[in-house]
């Protein structure tokens, strides 16, 4: 029995390490709206593994499989601690619920996490609905679109340690990628609605085990970017998905269940 108890504790410890292996964004979440020129607020729960000391945050747009980098809004943040960051919301087009943030750190290579999709409205609070609707790997519907900065010259490049899909497409390609991803989304939804669940930047990736706010529905929210299978989203009310963490969260629970079953079987035979 002692051996069985020790084994169970070992499994619990492994799970605890996994759960705290990534920063957990808590704001913004789907449904949040920020006006151009006002303060955009970002908050997160710190990771305790000590690998997120030099954290960067990027403003992103696009679908879960083709995330587009617009600008880097912050660098050098301490993601090992709970924190927040405010900055002046940029002018974008269109004003819609199609924007989200991607978190990364050089000390945690391959681990990306996202917020849910949120709205950047015009200075008077006006916005339009996202143009596109799709489904993630769990069959949940999410809405998305591809935006751009009105002043492209103000864009700051992705962190140098990111490469390929994890950095996202460049902002300059946003207008062309918008039309191509829309066409791709239309054909994909008629032939197979489940194929567009994971962002190229890894919004549904295997990276985020820790969710913050309900990340699965309107955004790339909690973790694991599109390079693996992501989905940028937080959960909003209802069945709408705008995020990036639902897939990784689902996988985390499946893994947890498998480990607990293994522990039970091990205990039975002792």
SS3 97: coil
pLDDT at 137: 86
Please give the mean pLDDT across all residues of the chain.
71
Model confidence pLDDT, tens digit, residues 136-178:
889 999 999 999 999 999 999 999 999 765 677 665 444 443 3
Model confidence pLDDT, tens digit, residues 207-235:
333 333 333 345 455 444 333 334 565 43
| Segments forming the whole domain that contains residue 235 | 2-269
Closest CA to 216 of 248, 256, 182, 189: 248
SS3 9: helix
**Gap between the Cα atoms of 237 and 126, Å rounded:** 21
Contact 243, 114 (CB under 8 A): yes
Closest CA to 201 of 234, 243, 236, 240: 243
pLDDT at 164: 64
pLDDT at 26: 98
Contact 56, 105 (CB under 8 A): yes
Structure tokens at 253: 């629970």
What is the model's pTM? 0.65
**Gap between the Cα atoms of 102 and 244, Å rounded:** 10
Give the CATH number, domain containing residue 201: 2.60.40.10
**Who's near 70: CB < 8 A, 6+ residues apart?**
58, 59, 60, 61, 90, 92, 99, 147, 148, 149, 155, 171, 174
Q: Which residues pair with 116 in a beta bridge?
A: none
Lowest mean pLDDT among 33-47, 64-78, 180-194: 180-194
Predicted confidence (pLDDT) at residue 51 exceeds the cutoff of 90: yes
pLDDT at 165: 58
User: How many domains, the chain?
Assistant: 1
* Pairing relationship of beta strands 241-243 and 233-235 according to DSSP bridges: antiparallel
């Amino acid at each position: 029995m002692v051996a069985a108890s020790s084994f169970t504790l070992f499994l619990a410890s492994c799970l605890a390490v996994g759960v705290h292996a990534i920063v957990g964004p808590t704001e913004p979440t789907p449904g949040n709206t920020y006006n151009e020129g006002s303060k955009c607020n970002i908050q997160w729960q710190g990771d305790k593994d000590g690998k997120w000391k030099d954290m960067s945050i990027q403003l992103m747009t696009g679908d879960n499989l083709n995330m587009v980098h617009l600008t880097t809004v912050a660098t050098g943040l301490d993601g090992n601690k709970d924190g927040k960051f405010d900055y002046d919301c940029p002018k974008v087009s269109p004003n819609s619920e199609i924007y989200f943030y991607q978190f990364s750190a050089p000390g945690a290579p391959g681990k990306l996490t996202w917020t849910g999709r949120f709205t950047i409205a015009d200075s008077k609070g006006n916005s339009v609905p996202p143009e596109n609707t799709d489904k993630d790997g769990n069959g949940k519907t999410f809405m998305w679109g591809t935006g751009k900065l009105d002043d492209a010259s103000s864009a700051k490049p992705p962190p140098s340690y990111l490469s390929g899909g994890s950095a996202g497409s460049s902002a300059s390609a946003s207008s062309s990628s918008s039309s191509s991803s829309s066409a791709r989304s239309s054909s994909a939804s008629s032939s197979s609605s489940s194929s567009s669940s994971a962002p190229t930047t890894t919004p549904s990736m295997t990276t985020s085990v820790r969710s913050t706010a309900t990340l699965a529905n309107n955004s790339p929210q909690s973790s694991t970017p599109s390079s693996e299978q992501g989905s940028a989203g937080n959960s909003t009310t209802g069945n709408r998905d705008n995020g990036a963490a639902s897939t990784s969260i689902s996988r985390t629970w499946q893994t947890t269940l498998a480990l607990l079953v293994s522990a039970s079987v091990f205990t039975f035979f002792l």
